[in-house]
């Protein structure tokens, strides 16, 4: 019995230490990555955003950037703002529950709810119909935005997007654990931050693989903010609910009526590009697919020139996307970073039926 008491006391002490480490980690992450934009409360959600106004003679319509899982508004703003500044009214948002945005009402746990909140923010800021650029998880939100708010949608650009059901419906174990009510909260308040911090460098390198991880990316993009307990739970809730959501919504993509470009790498080890990008190009009438050899999961950072060309194309400007794609392929043809052997494509192989 004494051994049982001793073990329980030891376990409690470990939990308290891990919780203390997490609190310190949260303080450090927020100190290093303070809010970089403004706040507005819409749809009962305190949203953090950066708005970059257009010049008087801007050639492009407004552009709204929607980041993926584990990210925040800096993830799109850092590689794309400089090139587009003055040419369009740009809105970079922290999705509800991410970065410095509050989670808000329960429906913000779905892409439809997040699209609704972003639309409300556009109304608040008096931003007209916009090109919506969605990366990864943000792709599901971009597609939903076009379905639910067509009057606010001037075009779509998908970057390594998630949009369709995938084989097995699975996600990473730590997302599944965190999404459970009791154990998930305990895990996020104790072990997620120190464990995630230890894996941050390798994980971010593999998100970019086989392409080079930009120096200082995690620090500059504030990726460490996702390890805060509340954000970590929101991220897990988003990811674990995505399969059921896209299963319901994907059959409606044929209703989307707006210019669309789908950019995807053929070496994406994070999402099933064979399913998602192929499906978007197939299901959205008139959508144009741009495939890049040896490109991973980060077209916004690895191919910002192509991303901008896609935005310009959707806006109706005359751009040679095929030539822009070839230039990217030449530039990254020899990339084998990660190192790539440490970042295998762990997705189950697709058979003919699942394509």
How far is the C-alpha of 109 from the C-alpha of 141, rounded, in Å?
A: 11
236-252 tens-digit pLDDT: 999 999 999 999 999 99
For residues 244-271, average pLDDT = 97
For residues 28-44, average pLDDT = 97
Instruction: Count Cβ neighbours within 10 Å for each residue of 21-49 and write b for 16 or more, e otherwise.
Output: ebeebbeebeeebeebbeeeebbebebbb
How far is the C-alpha of 235 from the C-alpha of 41, rounded, in Å?
A: 21
pLDDT at 6: 72
For residues 21-27, average pLDDT = 91
Q: What is the band of 137 on the pLDDT scale with cuts at 50, 70, 90?
A: very high
How far is the C-alpha of 308 from the C-alpha of 319, rounded, in Å?
A: 10
Q: Is 87 helix (H, G, I), strand (E, B) or coil?
A: coil
The least confident of 165-179, 232-246, 306-320, 324-338 is: 165-179
How far is the C-alpha of 322 from the C-alpha of 165, rounded, in Å?
A: 28
For residues 322-330, average pLDDT = 98
- DSSP state at residue 98: S
Residue among 93, 89, 63 nearest 153 (CA):
63
* Phi-psi map region of 218: left, alpha, beta (phi>0 left; psi -120 to 50 alpha): alpha
For residues 132-153, average pLDDT = 98
Please check the confidence at residue 26 and state whether its pLDDT lies above 60. Answer: yes
pLDDT at 14: 75
Q: Rounded to 5 degrees, what angle do the CA atoms 208, 212, 216 make?
A: 90
Return the residue matching tokens 């190009």: 281
Q: What is the band of 348 on the pLDDT scale with cuts at 50, 70, 90?
A: low
Return all residues near 180 (Cβ < 8 A) that are at least 6 apart: none
How far is the C-alpha of 80 from the C-alpha of 189, rounded, in Å?
A: 34
Return the residue matching tokens 């104790």: 190
Q: What is the band of 347 on the pLDDT scale with cuts at 50, 70, 90?
A: low
Tokens of 172: 């990473």
Element at 228 (helix H, strand E): none
Please check the confidence at residue 27 and state whether its pLDDT lies above 70. Answer: yes
How far is the C-alpha of 269 from the C-alpha of 14, rounded, in Å?
A: 35
Return the residue matching tokens 């998880």: 137
For residues 62-86, average pLDDT = 98
Q: What is the band of 355 on the pLDDT scale with cuts at 50, 70, 90?
A: very low
Of all residues in the chain, the percent with pLDDT exceeding 90 is: 87
Please check the confidence at residue 19 and state whether its pLDDT lies above 50. Answer: yes
Q: What is the band of 352 on the pLDDT scale with cuts at 50, 70, 90?
A: very low
pLDDT at 213: 96
Q: Could you give the angle at which helices 242-249 and 111-124 cross, rounded to 10 degrees?
A: 80
Element at 111 (helix H, strand E): helix 111-124
Q: Give me the count of residues in the chain.
A: 355
Please check the confidence at residue 302 and state whether its pLDDT lies above 50. Answer: yes
Average pLDDT value over all residues in the chain: 94
CB-neighbour burial class of residue 297 (10 A; exposed 0-12, middle 13-18, buried 19+): buried
For residues 201-206, average pLDDT = 94
């Amino acid at each position: 019995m004494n051994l049982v008491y001793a073990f329980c006391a030891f376990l409690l002490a470990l939990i308290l230490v891990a919780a203390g480490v997490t609190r310190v980690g949260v303080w450090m992450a927020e100190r290093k990555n303070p809010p970089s934009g403004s706040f507005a409360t819409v749809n009962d959600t305190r949203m953090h955003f950066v708005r970059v106004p257009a010049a008087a003679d801007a050639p492009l319509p407004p552009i709204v950037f929607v980041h993926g899982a584990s990210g925040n508004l800096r993830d799109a703003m850092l590689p794309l703002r400089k090139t587009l500044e003055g040419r369009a009214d740009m809105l970079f948002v922290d999705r509800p529950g991410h970065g410095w945005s509050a989670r808000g009402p329960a429906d913000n746990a779905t892409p439809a709810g997040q699209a609704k909140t972003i639309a409300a923010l556009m109304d608040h800021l008096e931003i007209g119909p916009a090109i919506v650029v969605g990366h990864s998880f943000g792709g599901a939100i971009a597609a939903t935005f076009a379905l639910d708010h067509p009057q606010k949608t001037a075009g779509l650009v998908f970057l390594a997007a998630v949009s369709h059901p995938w084989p097995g419906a699975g996600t990473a174990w730590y997302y599944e654990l965190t999404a459970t009510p009791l154990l998930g909260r305990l895990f996020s308040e104790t072990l997620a931050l120190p464990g995630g911090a230890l894996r941050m460098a390798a994980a971010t390198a593999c998100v970019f693989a086989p392409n080079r991880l930009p120096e200082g990316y995690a620090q500059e993009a504030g990726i460490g903010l996702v390890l805060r307990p509340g954000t970590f739970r929101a991220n897990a809730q988003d990811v674990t609910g995505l399969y059921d959501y896209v299963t319901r919504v994907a059959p409606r993509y044929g209703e989307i009526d707006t210019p669309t470009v789908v950019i995807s790498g053929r070496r994406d080890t994070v999402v099933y590009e064979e399913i998602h990008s192929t499906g978007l190009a197939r299901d959205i009438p008139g959508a144009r697919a741009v495939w890049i050899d040896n490109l991973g999961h980060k077209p916004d950072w690895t191919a910002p020139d192509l991303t901008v060309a896609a935005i310009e194309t959707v806006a109706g400007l005359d751009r040679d996307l095929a030539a822009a794609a070839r230039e990217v392929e030449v530039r990254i043809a020899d990339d084998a970073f990660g190192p790539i052997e440490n970042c295998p494509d762990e997705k189950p192989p697709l058979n003919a039926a699942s394509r």
